[in-house]
Amino acid sequence: MKSLHYLLPLLLAVSLSGCFRLLSSDGGGQGRIRMDVRPVDPEAIALPAGYQAEVVATGLTFPTGAAFDAQGRLYVIESGYSYGEIFFEPRLLRVEPDGSLTTIATGVKNGPWTGITYYKGNFYVAEGGELLGGRILRISPDGNITSLVEDLPTMGDHHTNGPVISADGQLYFSLGTATNSGVVGPDNYDYGWLKRYPDFHDIPCEDIVLVGRNYVSDLPPEPESAEHVTGAYSPYGTATTEGQVIEGRIPCSGAVMRIPVNGGAAPELVAWGFRNPFSLAFSPAGRLYVTENAYDVRGSRPVWGVADNLWEVQQGKWYGWPDYAGGELIDGERYEAPNKKVPNPILARHPSKPPKPVAKLGVHSSSNGLDFSRSDAFGYKGEAFIAQYGDLAPGVGKVLAPVGFKVIRVNVETGVVTEFAANKGKMVAPASKLMTGGLERPISVKFSPDGESLYIVDFGIMETGEEDLNPEVETGVIWKITKTEPGL
């Protein structure tokens, strides 16, 4: 017993200092998750005083975006693809006043459709391109689909995203990277695409020079299980050398690009060096912003503890991927995950020093859909609203509690982040974990044309394991938030 007197303080100190290493992951999709039903209850959602939630539509399969036509009617897209290698035909649906759904257009199995906007009589949709490469589509009100751009290099981890259209008629869209941090590895095999496209890899937007760092990995199952050596910006199993130049080309990975809204011109580079630039939006002041899903702890070059970001997009800038995180160089133990190697830089020269983000958002929060409040009637005019899909732990890295699963607002002048809509409870978590009828995985936000209502596109239930992701069909929901007490 006496020895315990000496040991207890020591054990306490050790357990506290090693807290992260000792505790198991507790992500929002982990543990006991209710998969079979999706009850909805607006009262389960905490909102600021004077706001209320209501349900607009239910039963959607993987919804990812919403738009309004010139008559103010609501439309929603179903993605047609989800992580977990689930493929459907993507759809454009009109949400009728009674909540029923009318199919306007059906795409091919090349999702995910990641975003939609309406402009002068037509819909514009970003087709992710998991099977055939990304495309930007124009869809007429009677459902005719025309491709404005094709063969975008987004068959990997991240997809073709956007679009948003500027006042001068330029359609902006974004392309996610093929990999987590520049090196093709076993995680890409697990995601599924490396089996389909064994030569696919990241493409720089300008010529780059490599350090020549290589990574050893193997792929299950047999017969591919021999060790392979892979370098950055190269096909799996291809080593690189010090000073090797990788030629840049356009379209490229991790970039924001634009085309005239009527098409007819090759994509033009706006900015690059993003990892997964998911959602673009113009502020009321006309500035372009983008949300970025940052590094995961997976693959051959895992990076630990990196925030998702909200960036202001500036013409010609490089934003740091794959060697910077939130404007800081990835150059040491600070980014080393437990039991993993330090992720040192892989570029011998950096195009420039990247800027600082407007706001740093939760690590693994999957900060996705973005829109700005433009109305005093709703409030928070000029602030950015962001849908946080929520973590995919433990596959993307360990978390000690669920991260995301809510809608936040960001003051873009100060970088201050405030919760706007989140489930009630001791902690913020998806409804399927809390066993309530609230938010599950918000993936997009869209203000109504009059600016008085905020629509939240809720992807639905997704269970997450170390290697498996299990999304549940027909659990997507559209929520509407309105201000009921204008004086507040």
Would you tell me which residues interact with another protein (CB under 8 A)? 2, 4-6, 8-9, 12, 16-21, 46-49, 304-308, 334, 338, 359-365, 397-401, 403, 414-422, 424-428
Nearer to another protein, 50 or 99 (CB): 50
| H/E element, 422 | strand 417-423
The CA angle 351-357-361, to the nearest 5 degrees, is 130
In residues, how long is the chain? 488
Phi-psi region of 57 (alpha: psi -120 to 50; beta: other; left: phi over 0): beta
Cα 136 to Cα 123: distance, rounded to the nearest angstrom? 11
Nearer to another protein, 20 or 89 (CB): 20
Per-residue b/e over 177-198, b at no fewer than 16 CB within 10 Å?
Answer: bbbbbbbbbbbbbbbebbeebb
Cβ 418 to another protein, closest distance in Å?
Answer: 7
Nearer to another protein, 20 or 315 (CB): 20
Cβ 367 to another protein, closest distance in Å?
Answer: 11
Nearer to another protein, 8 or 70 (CB): 8
Q: Which of 390, 463, 472, 383 is nearest to 423 (CA)?
A: 390
Residues 6+ apart with CB under 8 A from 294: 275, 306, 307, 308, 309, 325, 326, 363
Asked whether the beta carbons of 69 and 119 are under 8 A apart, the reply is: no
Cα 314 to Cα 312: distance, rounded to the nearest angstrom? 6
Nearer to another protein, 116 or 422 (CB): 422
Cβ 41 to another protein, closest distance in Å?
Answer: 11
Nearer to another protein, 28 or 277 (CB): 28
Cβ 66 to another protein, closest distance in Å?
Answer: 22
Nearer to another protein, 216 or 427 (CB): 427
Q: What three-state secondary structure class fits 296? A: coil
Residues 6+ apart with CB under 8 A from 164: 115, 117, 171, 172, 173, 280, 281, 282, 288
Cβ 384 to another protein, closest distance in Å?
Answer: 14
Phi, psi of 384 (to 5 degrees): -90, 135
Two tokens, residue 175? 């392309």
Nearer to another protein, 108 or 427 (CB): 427
Counting beta carbons within 10 angstroms of the beta carbon of residue 66, is it exposed (0 to 12), middle (13 to 18) or buried (19 or more)? buried
Cα 365 to Cα 448: distance, rounded to the nearest angstrom? 25
Residues 6+ apart with CB under 8 A from 13: none
Cβ 362 to another protein, closest distance in Å?
Answer: 5
Nearer to another protein, 38 or 364 (CB): 364
Cβ 385 to another protein, closest distance in Å?
Answer: 13
Nearer to another protein, 59 or 305 (CB): 305
Cα 317 to Cα 270: distance, rounded to the nearest angstrom? 8
Counting beta carbons within 10 angstroms of the beta carbon of residue 256, is it exposed (0 to 12), middle (13 to 18) or buried (19 or more)? buried
Cis upstream peptide for 198 (omega within 30°): no
Nearer to another protein, 396 or 477 (CB): 396
Cα 197 to Cα 192: distance, rounded to the nearest angstrom? 9
Cβ 409 to another protein, closest distance in Å?
Answer: 10
Cβ 205 to another protein, closest distance in Å?
Answer: 27
Cβ 451 to another protein, closest distance in Å?
Answer: 20
Cβ 406 to another protein, closest distance in Å?
Answer: 9
Nearer to another protein, 267 or 354 (CB): 354
Cα 117 to Cα 307: distance, rounded to the nearest angstrom? 27
Cβ 33 to another protein, closest distance in Å?
Answer: 19
